[in-house]
Every structure is written in C-alpha cells, then in structure tokens.
Amino acid sequence: MSPRAPQPPPDAPRPRKRAAAAGGCAAPLTTGRARRVLKVGGLTTSVGGSYLWQALKRPFQSSERTERDLLDAHVRNAVRIVEGSTELKGAFMKLVQMLSMRNDLLPPEALAVLSTVQSSVPPMDAAVIREQVTRELGRAPEELFAEFEPEAFAAASLGQVHRARLRSGAAVVVKIQYPGVEDTVVQDLKNIRVLLATLARIGRDVMKQKIDATEVARELEDRLCEELDYVNEAKNLARFRALFADDPEVVIPRPVPEFSSRRVLTMEAVDGYPLADILAPGVDQSLKDWVALKYFRVLWRQVFEFGVLHTDPHPGNYMVTHHPRLCMLDLGSVRVFEEPIRRAYLDLAVALLAGDAAGMSECFVRLGFLDPADDPAAMIRIMRIVFEPALVDAVYDPKQYQSVERAMEVAQIALEHRIFKAPGHRVFLVRALVGLESYIQQLGTVTNWRRVFGESVEAARTRQRRARPSRR
C-alpha cells in the first residue's frame, strides 16, 4: 500500500464551482493554440510568481511563519491548477488528474486539492455526439442500433457514455470521444511541459527534490495517447478478458469491434453497483470485505503475474455485480511492465516479506530506484513504512495506518538521503497503490493483510513456474 494524500485542511481555499452551459450541456472545448497557450501561460506565471514572492519574503520572516506561508502557497497554487483544468477540460484536465498522483512534485496538502479534479463533467449536446458517431462509424446512431439513448448517463474529461441495444437484442454501452479533444492534445502536451518545468523548479527549490520533468511529461504523454485511442482500449478489454479468463469472480466487458473505431467504443453492458455505492455507509460489512480482498488480489496479480496494470483507480471505473463479481470498466490507461521490471517487483515483494535486506537492495537497482553504489538503508526504511500493513503478521485495521504521518516520514527520509530517482514505471504503480490504500481504508476490512499479501505473492510465483514460455 502507499500513503494517500490527505484531505486539505478545513480552512484551505477550495476550487470554485463552475456553472454548466445552458441546457445542462458542456460548452465546446476551449480550442485554438493561442487561447490555450495564454491560459496555461498565465497559470504557470501565477504559480511561479507565487513562489517567487515567498522567496522574497523569507529573509524577513520567522521560520514558523515562512513554513505556514509556504504551505498556504502550495494549496493556493493547487487550486489555481484545478481551476485552470476545469476551464480547459479535455486532455489538460486528464493530465492534471494524472499529476495529482505525483507526490514528489507537491506536498500532500496540495495534492489533495489537485485530486478534486473530477472526471465527471456536463455532457455534450446530443446533436454534436450524433455527428461524431456518424463521422466515425459511417451512419447515425439511430441507423446503427435498435435503440440508442441520446442522453449520456456518464460524462468524463475525454468522452461520454450512452446506453444502446444492438439489432440482436444485446444491451451495450457506447463510449464517444468529444469532438476536438485530439486537436488540443499537441497544444496541451506543450502546455503541460511548461507547467511541469515550473513544478520541477518548485520541487528543486522548495521541496529539495530533483524532478526529471522530461521523463514525467513523456510518461503522461504515453498514457494520454493510449486513452485517446479507443481501438487500443478495445484491445485492452480483450487482453484483460484473456488474462482473467480463469477467474470467475472478475468481469471484463466484451468489446464490439464492428461498432467501434478510434473515437467510438461499443462494449457489452454490465449490470451492477458502482464501487462508490459499496464504499458508502450502511453496506453490509461482509460484502465490503469481499470487495476489499478481491480488489487487493486482482491488483497484485496484475503487477506480479501479468506485468499489465490498470492504472486508473477512479471508483467510476469499477462495479460490483451480482454473485458478487468485480467488474473493471475503463481500460484506457494500462501500463505494461517489461519482463525484467515485472520480475523485479515480484522479487522485491518476496524480499520484503522475508526481511531480506540484500534482496531488497538488489531489486532497488534492477527497478532503477537506486544506483549500484547507493546505500540502500534509507530506501529499505521507506519500503517498510509504505508496506507496513502488509508486513505486520497480525490482524490489522487499515484505519490505524496514519497516511498523512507516514507520507511526511517518507518525504523526510527521501529528502535527508537525497533519494531522487523515480523511473517511469513507478508513476502509475504508485497511482494504482494510492487507489488501493484509499479503498481498503474506506471499506474498513480488518484482517491479517500480511497473509493476504503473502498468498498473492506465492500464487504469482506458483503460476509463474507453471506458465508457458509466453504469458501474454
């Protein structure tokens, strides 16, 4: 598990809500290179200027006042980024959501504000969506489907989803990308690099962290381009269906290629309850426990056995169906680990459980966290803190894991020992682990997590021994 960013303090500034366009539909995406550059340029200037002002005031303040003002600046600037992403929508909003997982760029209080960028936005007008389907599939939705609901039942930063029915009678959902999103991607990626450069300077000058903005931008770009390609998402659906074919407790919707394209994805409909409903108070604890354990095992199976990880832990991307079964919905963001990386993560887990410091040290080098000459002691301390719930051989209440305090302790160790290396595969694994830790705390499942973790590790090792030469 990974320390989760805390909620902002009660008196912290909050992002202002923005009214939807008339009729409850979203306004067109803010397009035009000049306008988007100006908006992000202004955002970068205001963020950078805020920290410059803090630096100028520092010689005239007490250390306590400087620390308090710096925290306030972090939170204010996170709010600025949130508000900018809400106005720009599309790819920039998605990129800010991804940035909210980078605990090496900003402190937890600021990340908590960034994480409020919601994936739910007002839907596009039905006529605009009809035109998009017609362009992509060659015919209007009412001609393609026996039934097609013109009103979207879900809308996010890159597209929206409609219920429909095939001529065969099968119920499906149709995911439609907003027109113009891809046109803004090149602009947004340039803009995000400017913003990342500012955040990297903040990390260097304020948090004493060395951030490779180029590597972060490249990782974000790769994942965003994948999410914009619905042909790729359909392949991910097929891949995950094959990977979990031996698990009757996991459901992956079947894609319908003949009604899909790069910007339209049709897949079978799955009935069930959104994960957010299961997290709510009043739900039977036995069901919550089943979900917590299943989610935990499914995530580690992806990391340790498949090397193929669903990296978007948003609760809207999971459902719990009858029986029960866990359904994974949005597979646009998937990270494929190279075989040496997958094996190194599995070996690291084995070493962690065994308390094998030498084995952990070797894995840190294989994973790119440390150089061969580095002293691994600090990194071992960090891993033991992060994985504490999975290392205590006793019944453990996840709510006793103090995320804020642990995150601050980890940051302090990294700062003192100048642990700066953050390879690309780490970014989205941390994102997935943040989601895991959050859900387990909310579900409140009290169990011996070390045994569950150990079972997941041993199951992966057993399957690996039995596996054919090629697992994918």
Q: What is the pLDDT of residue 255?
A: 97
Lowest mean pLDDT among 38-52, 153-167, 311-325: 38-52
Catalytic residue check, 312: yes
Q: Is the pLDDT of residue 79 over 70?
A: no
63 CB contacts (<8 Å, ≥6 apart)? none
Q: Is the pLDDT of residue 146 over 90?
A: yes
The whole-number average pLDDT for the span 111-123 is 61
Q: Quote the CA–CA distance of 157 and 180 in Å, as a whole number.
A: 12
Q: What is the number of residues in the chain? A: 472
Confidence band, pLDDT 50/70/90 cuts, at residue 44: low
Q: What is the pLDDT of residue 326?
A: 98
Q: What is the pLDDT of residue 277?
A: 93
Q: What is the pLDDT of residue 217?
A: 75
Among 302-306, 413-417, 423-427, name the most confident range.
Answer: 302-306
Among 47-61, 369-383, 418-432, name the most confident range.
Answer: 369-383
**For the chain, what is the HEC assignment?**
CCCCCCCCCCCCCCCCCCCCCHHHCCCCCCCCHHHHHHHHHHHHHHHHHHHHHHHHHHHHCCHHHHHHHHHHHHHHHHHHHHHHHHHHCHHHHHHHHHHCCCCCCCCHHHHHHHCCCCCCCCCCCHHHHHHHHHHHHCCCHHHHCCEECCCCCEECCCEEEEEEECCCCCEEEEEEECCCHHHHHHHHHHHHHHHHHHHHHHHHHCCCCCCCHHHHHHHHHHHHHHHHCHHHHHHHHHHHHHHCCCCCCEECCCECHHHCCCCEEEEECCCCEEHHHHHCCCCCHHHHHHHHHHHHHHHHHHHHHHCEEECCCCHHHEEEECCCEEEECCCCCEEECCHHHHHHHHHHHHHHHHCCHHHHHHHHHHCCCCCCCCCCHHHHHHHHHHCHHHHCCCCECHHHCCHHHHHHHHHHHHHHCCCCCCCHHHHHHHHHHHHHHHHHHHHCCCECHHHHHHHHHHHHHHHHHHCCCCCC
Lowest mean pLDDT among 48-57, 168-177, 290-299, 322-331: 48-57
The whole-number average pLDDT for the span 51-66 is 64
Contact criterion met (CB below 8 Å) for 294 and 326: yes
Lowest mean pLDDT among 244-248, 274-278, 313-317, 327-331: 313-317
53 CB contacts (<8 Å, ≥6 apart)? 73
Q: What is the pLDDT of residue 134?
A: 97
In tens, the pLDDT along 175-191 reads 999 888 877 777 777 76
Confidence band, pLDDT 50/70/90 cuts, at residue 102: low
Among 137-151, 201-215, 427-441, name the most confident range.
Answer: 137-151
Q: Is the pLDDT of residue 21 over 50?
A: no
Supply the mean pLDDT for the chain.
Answer: 80
Q: What is the pLDDT of residue 210?
A: 62
In tens, the pLDDT along 190-209 reads 767 766 776 666 666 555 55
Tell which wins on pLDDT, 254 or 196: 254
Q: What is the pLDDT of residue 383?
A: 94
Q: Is the pLDDT of residue 243 over 70?
A: yes
Q: What is the pLDDT of residue 4?
A: 38
In tens, the pLDDT along 341-357 reads 999 999 999 999 999 99
Q: What is the pLDDT of residue 32?
A: 52
| % of the chain with per-residue pLDDT over 70 | 69
* pTM beyond 0.85, yes or no: no
Lowest mean pLDDT among 144-148, 166-170, 193-197: 193-197
Q: Where are the domains of the chain?
A: 22-118+182-207, 272-472
Contact criterion met (CB below 8 Å) for 322 and 309: no
Q: What is the pLDDT of residue 18?
A: 34
Lowest mean pLDDT among 75-79, 236-240, 380-384: 75-79
Q: Give the active site residue among 312, 356, 371, 397.
A: 312
Q: What is the pLDDT of residue 181?
A: 80
Among 37-51, 221-235, 375-389, name the most confident range.
Answer: 375-389
Q: Quote the CA–CA distance of 73 and 94 in Å, as a whole number.
A: 23
Confidence band, pLDDT 50/70/90 cuts, at residue 107: low
Burial class for 37, CB neighbours closer than 10 Å (0-12, 13-18, 19+): middle
Confidence band, pLDDT 50/70/90 cuts, at residue 22: very low
Q: What is the pLDDT of residue 9?
A: 38
Tell which wins on pLDDT, 450 or 31: 450
Q: Is the pLDDT of residue 403 over 90?
A: no
Q: Quote the CA–CA distance of 208 and 194 in Å, as a whole number.
A: 20
